[in-house]
Structure 1
Amino acid sequence: MRSIAASEYVVETEALTLQYGRKFALKDLSLRVPRGRIHAIVGANGAGKSSLFRVLLGFQTPSSGSARILDQSCAQLSPEVRGRIGFVNDEHTMPEWMRIGDVVAMQRRQYPQWDQARFDETAGHFNVLPEQKVAQLSRGERAGINLAMALAQSPELLILDEPTLGLDVVAKRAFLEALMFCNSVDACTIIYCSHQMEEIERVADNLIILERGELKHMSAPDEFCERVSLWVADLPAAAVTALRARPEVLLLQKLDGLVHVLILDRDAQYGEVLTGFGARHVQTMPVSLDRAVNALLTRDHAAPAEEGAGHVRTQW
């Protein structure tokens, strides 16, 4: 990889660690997120995603290591740098008693670069009126107004932490369309955290996978999918036991009498390996991003007890 100057990163962490007693929320995390595009952070619950955001935004002091955002130490963020960062989380909280027009006016006074036209355009996706009170809005409408206010700040970096959690299909689609339009017309860098892989496939240019506070992978989503292959074969029981111990095997699952084997970083001739284990009717199939990511994340976790002949591992 070519060398990139520090100024070309919106986020840089070096051996970043956040520890609570014996529990690590972040562990020696070294991460560099380049400017531009949409970067998706994924991981199981407890992977460290929200902990990372708290450190980056200066809300949490790390146990050790360093973190920088927009070229400034996260421990000493100036008001000027904070004004260049937009943040939307899954709570979408606003004062229930206030009217939307008043909430927007309050936000507008705090940001000199406020872009009212952008706010109006984004909020227009959600059909919210200025005279409506916050208490009258649905969860999706609140999410839309929060996104509109964040974008109207004209942020250099927009951080979204599970922004579509709990939204219905219509509200989620409006949110994602507004988000992609913003990224297509601006130099705004977006860091997007979600458990919804269909969203990630739709919006993300870069995939960052965290597990137990550590960086496991970073690349374009399609590049990651190319590293994972799915093989379906008729395998004897002894072969299944032997395959599970191999380092390239992410997951095995038995469906309709056939064993599905997810493999990491092996070439297209892996069918010959399976044939060597006594496999019959071997074929390979494409892998979705959802299945590939989940296989990687579940590999190092203890498998639940096997349930007879139904499943080799019951991860799905």
Structure 2
Amino acid sequence: MSMAIHTERLTKRYGGTEALRGLDLDVPRGSIYAFVGPNGAGKTTAIQTILNLRQPTTGRAEVMGADSRALTHENFQHIGYVSENQRLPEWMTVEEFFDYLRPLYKTWDADLHAELRRQFDLPPGRKVKQLSRGMKMKVALASALVFRPQLLILDEPFTGLDPLVREELIQGLLDRAEGMTIFVSSHDLAEIESFASHVGYLEQGRLRLSEEMAVLAERFREVQVVFEGEAQRPAPWPEDWLPPETSGSMMRFVDTRQDPARWPAAFPTARSIEAQPMTLRAIFVALARSGRKGEQQ
């Protein structure tokens, strides 16, 4: 499968701190890829290194088939980028900002510009500095969509926005998603789960998983085991089961490979064994807790 983003052993160090640790990432073309992980996991560093905004310490990255270290103006004709902390020209009006951008892109679509202006209710004569945070994000997203990029990279675009603005931004994305790859890092897991096709989980600079959303949802299960007496933990504990939580005669754990056939043999004294599917947020929380327990051991 052709990849919109491909990295090999991508590493980034800041002094003695290793923000990225041998990142091997593949983002299929045409996918909506959710890039998730705790604060400080390295998501923004990864995005900035992929776009050559930061130089990698070791390793390499490709964006739309081009080496990231050699990206040119021609390459960026096909790449849109919106960041949580993106700075817009505060002194310009909204329309002056779009007038400034228009000649920079060969594929600028005037009809789409008018459509986005209506959909996002953009005030053309108002100065950017007078806009709310939500309206500024709408301007930033519209400016990244209007030239119809092949790849759109969004770094925490929904942070701090009210639910209505988030919904409007997501709808604006989905309305133009056909034929485009969208790579989005975000903590708004409920929203991402509703539209992402793939997900990657980054923790402490390492990619712990990367797969189709449907596959992830199918293989993760929260398992609850009730015993006749005290909860008994099997030894050795399977590597693909996250560390359990016990309380009296009850044990809960996450099976990351959903293999119900193994459960009765592992818990021969169990009175009952039940499993429930998990939301993306529940999977995220379970992996984060597992990571913290690993650090403490």
TM-score (norm 1): 0.85
Q: 1:304 and 1:244 mapped to 2: Cα distance?
A: 20
Shift in Å at residue 101 of structure 1? 0.9
Q: Partner residue of 2:264? A: 272
* Structure 2, unpaired ranges of 5+: none
Taking only aligned residues, the RMSD between alpha carbons, in angstroms, comes to 2.3
Shift in Å at residue 137 of structure 1? 1.5
Q: 1:201 and 1:256 mapped to 2: Cα distance?
A: 34
Q: 1:279 and 1:303 mapped to 2: Cα distance?
A: 27
Q: 1:23 and 1:101 mapped to 2: Cα distance?
A: 43
1:168-247 superposed matches below 5 A: 168-184=162-178, 187-235=179-227, 236-237=229-230, 239-240=232-233, 242=234, 245-247=237-239
Shift in Å at residue 256 of structure 1? 10
Deviations for 1:253-279, whole angstroms, at most 9, x for unmatched residues?
458974322112141224414532x33
Shift in Å at residue 67 of structure 1? 1.2
CA contact (8 A) 2:32 2:198 kept: yes
Divergent runs of 4+, >6 A = none
CA contact (8 A) 1:251 1:263 kept: no
Task: State yes or no: 1:290 paired with 2:256.
Answer: no
Q: 2:224 and 2:54 mapped to 1: Cα distance?
A: 46
* Structure 1, unpaired ranges of 5+: 306-316
CA separation of 1:273 and 1:119: change in aligned 2, threshold 3 A: farther
1:30 aligns with one of 10, 24, 35? 24
Shift in Å at residue 304 of structure 1? 10
Task: State yes or no: 1:127 paired with 2:118.
Answer: no
Alignment length, in residue pairs? 295
The one-letter code of the counterpart of 1:302 is: K
* Secondary structure of residue in 2 paired with 1:155: coil
Q: 1:255 and 1:150 mapped to 2: Cα distance?
A: 51
Q: 1:195 and 1:48 mapped to 2: Cα distance?
A: 13
Kindly, what percent of the aligned residue pairs are identical?
30
1:1-316 superposed matches below 5 A: 4=1, 8-184=2-178, 187-235=179-227, 236-237=229-230, 239-240=232-233, 242=234, 245-253=237-245, 258-273=250-265, 275-276=267-268, 278-302=269-293
Q: 2:54 and 2:96 mapped to 1: Cα distance?
A: 31
TM-score (norm 2): 0.90
